[in-house]
Amino acid sequence: MAADIRGATNQAPPLVDHNTVSSDLALVEAVTRHASADIVDDLVALGAEASSAEAREHGLEANRHEPELTPYDRYGNRVDEVRFHPSWHWLMERGVGHGLQAAPWTSERPHPHVRRAAGFFAWSQTEPGHGCPISMTYAAVPALRVDDSIAKEWIPHLASTSYDFGLRPVSDKAGALAGMGMTEKQGGSDVRANVTRATPTSVDGEYTLAGHKWFTSAPMNDVFLVLAQAPGGLTCFLVPRVLADGTRNQLDVVRLKDKLGNRSNASSELEFRMTWARRLGDEGRGVRTIIEMVAATRLDCVLGSASLMRRSLAEASWHVAHRSAFGGLLADKPLMQNVIADLAVESEAATALAIRLAAAVDAAHDPHEAALRRIALPLTKFWVCKRTPMMVAEALECLGGNGYVEESAMPLLFRESPLNSIWEGSGNVNALDVLRALTREPEVLEAWITEVGRAQGEDPRLDRAVHHVLESLADTSALEVGARRLAGQMAACLQGALLVQHGPPAVADAFCATRLGTEYGGTLGTLPRGTDLAGIVERTTPTPR
């Protein structure tokens, strides 16, 4: 009998209806540990929607149909509008509706930032690009609070769970979104090299801007925080797209960036010509004004990368659980078990530390938590985001050729994987920020020592790694050249301490052996003999409801 070539067998079904919250035991345990089981229960509906076939299709469609810039209308009027596919709006409406933007800053519910972090982590698995405007809106609030009048005007709209797309005065909108325009073509991350000029008007606190911004994502957002050179030095400004009288601010969208990934999201170059702006904070204090905003976006870089890890792991573990080769199910093959288990160790460590950092935001008035957040955010941002491309590539390979085609969504995840290591300071910028914090703020080292010290004596490999970090800090002659190594070691020690205290013993042991010990084989899938591979794989493989 001839083979049926019109049908397909031995193919994994699409991964849908697995609930990105309740099926992720590492996430459930972290949220319960740092907040409560009630918050997990509150997020189950989000997880169900995020894992639906409908959400999966919208995520793919938003990337197939990229945003389009319309600089002029049909009559020749300058409009500078960006059009998005309906799937983008579907994703945004639900992301905003779930309170993943600025809602935690005004929430009276317990643990609002842990709740939001877990929701952002789980929802971003639908499609990562639309997380950018949501993240910027979340991060803008701390900066806006330096000016009471601006905060009262804008924060209620940014915290609204209503997605209201379109260019209108904020007073006429049910909700608003924020963006950022910090970098310029001559300086990049070196924002002190900015040359955009801010000229005071006759009205106190109001200026006009002239200059060019090199990267401004989501140009259809309602308001932007930008840095410009005022007479008193580098200063932060608030720039609305539409002025209070309904006229559009003089802000030109020059072009949309043709990016490697993140293609559902519009990233643009802007030009300012007599663009109206309000000063946010004092002249010359621009970097100080945005420092808390930087911290918030770095947290979302960690969460976004950890989310990419989890989505990639879920796809890989699901595939091998349904695909047979060489006489048996791939998930039963010892070497494939080693690969999936190692991917799971990486993902669980990233998840545990990301949620721990969100808990530090909820406890920002605690001196230990504030100091820990100051040092842990840049070193974790460096470590987790830097390891994501390697991890996603390995997960893609688990699907073989199936993972190399667009329908699998793995290429989308892979193209996205380097982004968070670049955004809000590349690896070098964050590693050097770790050194800056250690040098200028002695309390941050004490916070790190206290945090890892809670696991002292639980695993000798962790204890040795902590001791090695402290020895490295004593050699001040080599700190800058070794900044990346130091940041990675400090982050891995934090992850190891969390896993040793709270994680499954098999995961903690595998992490300490390979990330802190001497048994790393140079690539993923090299966990040492004796690791409970099958147990880790079973724990991490999603189960549809």
pLDDT recorded at residue 347:
98
pLDDT recorded at residue 3:
65
CA distance 259 to 233: 32
Residue with tokens 């545990």: 352
pLDDT recorded at residue 306:
98
Residue with tokens 């499954």: 504
CA distance 366 to 360: 8
Q: Is residue 197 packed enough to be buried (19+ CB in 10 Å), middle (13-18) or exposed (0-12)?
A: middle
CA distance 224 to 177: 9
CA distance 457 to 107: 39
Which helix (H) or strand (E) covers residue 48, if one does?
A: helix 37-50
Residue-wise pLDDT for 347-360, tens only, equals 999 999 999 999 99
Which helix (H) or strand (E) covers residue 279, if one does?
A: strand 267-280
Which pTM value belongs to this model?
0.97
Diameter over CA atoms, the chain: 88
Residue-wise pLDDT for 130-141, tens only, equals 999 999 999 999
Residue-wise pLDDT for 472-531, tens only, equals 999 888 899 999 999 999 999 999 999 999 999 999 999 999 999 888 888 999 999 999
Which amino acid type is present at position 539? R
Residue numbers of the chain with a pLDDT score lower than 70: 1-3
Instruction: Give the list of residues 6+ apart from residue 38 with CB closer than 8 angstroms, or none.
Output: none
